Amino acid sequence: MSDRSAALVESLQDHFGDRIDKLQSTRHGVILEVSPAHLSAICQTLRDEFKFEMLMDLAGVDYMAYGVAEWSTEDSTREGFSRGVQSKTFGRFSFHDAPPLDQHTGPRFAVAYQLLSIQRNQRLLLKVYCTDDALPVVPSVADLWSAANWYEREAFDLYGIIFEGHPDLRRILTDYGFIGHPFRKDFPLIGNVEMRYDEQQERVVYEPVSVEPRVLVPRVIRDDHRYLDNTKGSKRTDA
């Protein structure tokens, strides 16, 4: 931990005390976790007193499939690569036949804020976990950082996270009639519907998805078995 990071961690701990859920310094920077109930007041203090005057980014996070791998490469074939696909995630399923994912414990949704202090040349990652998985809600910070207006609408559109107090919370990337939130882990890669222009009706029509759900699996290159001595299990030295 650098001296600047250590000083920031100490200042945050002294100022916020038991309102902090978790505070740590990593090689990527200082990470501060708070509850939604304390978010507005803490963000106000971070901007005014700690001089984090710029919100660099705001993103939603879905931990539903956290730690679940789509493929396994522990077993390889004699041809030099493995395609050991394990159908564990939602990429190859529709809404109705997807398997349950219950490996992750704790809140499913979170919001991550990347803050920058230009005056002090410091960065801070602020994380807030939503208390309700069925209806994730956190307070809006659009009144503190104007950039949050667009970011919060994006997180609402893609993750379905509600930002309470946002002045204009509506979809910003998907269509008006879009169903679901495409960045959620239980949203199939093929989507729910497809649209096309119907020349007879002279309008855009929505239809059920016609493509087959599948996931492309990368090839994992192994040692070429042609240059191995099958009797001794070592590489041949003769050309």
pLDDT in tens, 195-204: 889 999 999 8
Q: Environment class of residue 222 by beta-carbon count within 10 Å: exposed (0-12), middle (13-18) or buried (19+)?
A: middle
More confident residue, 196 or 125: 125
At 2, is the pLDDT very low, low, confident or very high (cuts 50, 70, 90)? confident
Q: What is the pLDDT of residue 239?
A: 46
Per-residue pLDDT tens over the stretch 175-185? 877 888 999 98
pLDDT higher than threshold 70 for residue 96: no
Report the alpha-carbon angle 195-162-180, nearest 5: 20
Per-residue pLDDT, averaged over 41-62, amounts to 97
| pLDDT, position 195 | 84
CA atoms of 66 and 175, how far apart (whole Å): 28
Phi-psi region of 99 (alpha: psi -120 to 50; beta: other; left: phi over 0): beta
Backbone dihedral region of 121: left (phi > 0), alpha (psi from -120 to 50 degrees) or beta? left
In 3D space, the residue among 71, 74, 18, 15 whose CA is nearest the CA of residue 45 turns out to be 15
CA 41 to each of CA 48, 139, 155: distance values in angstroms, whole numbers, following the listed order: 11, 10, 21
Looking at residue 72, its pLDDT comes to 54
Ranges 26-40, 76-90, 92-106, 198-212: which has the least confidence? 76-90
Distance, in Å, from the CA atom of 132 to the CA atom of 18, rounded to the nearest integer, reads 22
Distance CA 130, CA 36 (A): 7
Q: Whole-number mean pLDDT of the chain?
A: 83
Average pLDDT value for residue range 8-32: 93
Report field, pTM of the whole predicted structure over 0.85: no
